[in-house]
Amino acid sequence: MAIKLYNTKFRKRVEFIPINESDVRMYVCGPTVYDRAHLGNARPVIVFDTLFRLLRYIYGLDHVTYARNFTDVDDKINATALARQQAGALGTLEDLIAERSDETIKWYLEDMAALGALEPTKMPRATQYVTQMIEMIEDLIAKGNAYEIEGHALFRVRSYPEYGSLSGRSVDDMIAGARVEVVPYKEDPMDFVLWKPSSDDQPGWNSPWGHGRPGWHIECSAMALDLLGGEFDIHGGGNDLMFPHHENEAAQSTCAGHEFANVWMHNEMLQVEGKKMSKSLGNFFTVRDLLKQGVAGEVIRLVFLMTHYRKPMDWTDAKRVEAHKMLNDWFVVLRKHGYSPKTVDKLKASGDWVADIELMGVLSNDLNTPGALARMHVLAKARTASGLVPLAHALEMLGLVSDWNVLDASSSQDDRMPDWVPVVIDRLIAERGAARASKDWGEADRLRDLLNTAGVQVTDVAGTASWLLGSGFNPVVLEGLK
């Protein structure tokens, strides 16, 4: 099956041809680990996780290498560590910095796992690759593409004529835009930092240019080279990274003599209720915040998949509700046709666990996840258990099911339901059943209205009543009936 991907380099969709089909290689810029991941951080993770899953489906589970870094050289990490030290925390500053990075990485992996993201095959930390970064900088200096001055190593932008081609900018225009900071020691205002000196309260490494630390951009170039080689298939990240980060990566790596990435992919940004998420607007929240509110990770993921990755995505409460209903409806259909964790295992063992060709085709067209979801609605109309296999397969393939035990939980909104609630509800249902049996419709409806007011949805099928918690569940209404 052929995949088409939009390559930022060419500004169009092109057929994806791997360098080596038995080892497809992808690099994605990971987080700076100074705090909990906010919702915007989740977008590239989900987008490229979906691509990772698609690539693994097509080329084989063991034939895709996905590297995503952790940037653990950063002023904010240092600031946190320093604050902790001043507050009396034990250990050296280096220890405290490492501690902060470790805990943030752990949070990140937990939160992303909750969103159904597989762990990348490689997760390098910048601090483990300083040697390689220094080597690369030395190489660039030797080749005349970089220079040392006042403890800094700077990339000589004018030495690379292609500079700006990835992000579609010209050096002259940018300078004309007058937003370039002029620093006296730079040969040219566009030149960017490869290495900079560290003060005593900052972490540092010894280098030919003195005690210091690497610039941000060189990290990714060095790690990608070490883990994926000089030429690899896909480089991904948010489109905010296109300039300067990716432009600089490409410049460094190309000048160092490497082909670097064949396909550049950029996801669009996230907004919240139509506005950019920012602390000043007060609409800033983390993935963990949502999970704590009881929004399932799979629901969050589905909201992301509802919008194509190259379009701005709006997180809204309405979409959260819609995604929840969508996912729940699919599980209801599967349960109705006898699906359980056991039947899924059986299907997989028997070789009947197959994908829908049309859906895979849609998904392969530049990761058209909304199109794939539309196809799933059609697949969900199947009237037989075997006919629903492609739907179940798609749910798992898109990371919307991490554990098929979801099929066992019938009315599963357990977290927000105190123990006494089902007891009260069952009693009211029983009373209503008695009223119905004696054709006391007034009383029966009064009880149902009461349950509805509490957000409990009552459903009569073939004479017996069942119930589900609706989105507006409010236990307070039932409190007095305990």
Partner RNA sequence: GGCGAGUUGGCGGAGUGGUUACGCAGCGGAUUGCAAAUCCGUGUAUAUCGGUUCGAUUCCGAUACUCGCCUCCA
User: Is residue 311 close enough to count as binding RNA by CB under 7 A?
Assistant: yes
Is residue 439 a contact partner of residue 455, using CB atoms and an 8 Å limit? Answer: no
Is residue 311 a contact partner of residue 268, using CB atoms and an 8 Å limit? Answer: yes
User: Is residue 441 close enough to count as binding RNA by CB under 7 A?
Assistant: yes
Contact pattern for RNA over residues 130 through 169, marking x by CB under 7 A: -------------------------------------xxx
Report the C-alpha gap between 287 and 199 in whole angstroms: 34
Residue that has been written with the tokens 């056991």 in this structure: 342
User: Is residue 78 close enough to count as binding RNA by CB under 7 A?
Assistant: no
Select from 87, 88, 181, 476 the one that contacts RNA (CB under 7 A): 181
Report the C-alpha gap between 179 and 164 in whole angstroms: 16
Select from 436, 456, 469, 478 the one that contacts RNA (CB under 7 A): 436
Binding-residue total with RNA (CB under 7 A): 77
Q: Which of residues 236-295 bind RNA (CB under 7 A)?
A: 237-244, 268-271, 275-278
User: Is residue 455 close enough to count as binding RNA by CB under 7 A?
Assistant: no
User: Is residue 15 close enough to count as binding RNA by CB under 7 A?
Assistant: no
Smallest separation, CB 329 to RNA (Å): 6
Residue 14 amino acid letter: V
Report the C-alpha gap between 4 and 12 in whole angstroms: 10
Smallest separation, CB 471 to RNA (Å): 11
CA-based diameter of the chain, in Å?
94
- Among left, alpha and beta (phi > 0; psi -120 to 50; other), residue 447 is alpha
Select from 16, 26, 43, 218 the one that contacts RNA (CB under 7 A): 43
DSSP string, 157-173: GGG-TTTTTTTT--HHH
User: Is residue 232 close enough to count as binding RNA by CB under 7 A?
Assistant: no
DSSP state letter for 30: -
Strand, helix or coil for residue 202: coil
User: Is residue 459 close enough to count as binding RNA by CB under 7 A?
Assistant: yes
CB nearer to RNA: pick between 361 and 479:
361
Report the C-alpha gap between 82 and 130 in whole angstroms: 22
Select from 197, 210, 229, 312 the one that contacts RNA (CB under 7 A): 312
Smallest separation, CB 466 to RNA (Å): 9
User: Is residue 40 close enough to count as binding RNA by CB under 7 A?
Assistant: yes
Smallest separation, CB 376 to RNA (Å): 8
Alpha-carbon 196 to chain mean position: 31
User: Is residue 173 close enough to count as binding RNA by CB under 7 A?
Assistant: yes
Q: Which of residues 461-480 bind RNA (CB under 7 A)?
A: 461
